[in-house]
Amino acid sequence: MTERGDLGRAGEDLAAAQLERCGMRVLARNVRLSEGREIDIVAMDGGTLVCVEVRSRRASWVEAADSIGPRKQERVRLAAEEYAARHDGPFEALRVDVVLVEFRRDGRPPRVRHLPDAIGG
């Protein structure tokens, strides 16, 4: 596994733990869909189905947030809609969140920031 892959997996682990601490229930991780789309984490927040894009970086919040450009936002939104259409479950709404994970170079614990409804439709 590459260092980037290890960083991504560690970031997703931290993101899933953060979502669970916030009372969400993680349903699935690394869900692959059509046309190469992927959802990092699928969770339930009460009656809302939440699809989560995780961005892990060894730099700043800004760099992680800026890495989600318009094309990536569209791919994530389409993946969320496809997942929701395939899983006609007991949810009332669909939301796309982003979790930013910053691995700090100075050895301090990573920072995790949850941005609910960060990618609208």
Determine, yes or no, domain membership for 29: yes
Determine, yes or no, domain membership for 25: yes
Q: What is the pLDDT of residues 51-91, one digit of tens each?
A: 999 999 886 666 666 778 899 999 999 999 999 999 977 88
Determine, yes or no, domain membership for 90: yes
| Pick from 120, 97, 102, 108: nearest CA to 45 | 97
Q: 63's torsion region: left (phi>0), alpha (psi -120 to 50) or beta? A: alpha
Burial of 56 per CB tally in 10 Å (0-12, 13-18, 19+): buried
Domain that includes residue 27, residue range: 3-115
pLDDT over 50 at 1, yes or no: no
Across 9-18, 79-88, 101-110, the highest mean pLDDT is recorded for 9-18
Determine, yes or no, domain membership for 120: no
CATH number of the structural domain spanning residue 18: 3.40.1350.10
pTM of the model: 0.90
**pLDDT value of position 121:** 62
Determine, yes or no, domain membership for 121: no
User: How far is it, in rounded angstroms, from Cα 96 to Cα 60?
Assistant: 22
Number of domain units in the chain: 1
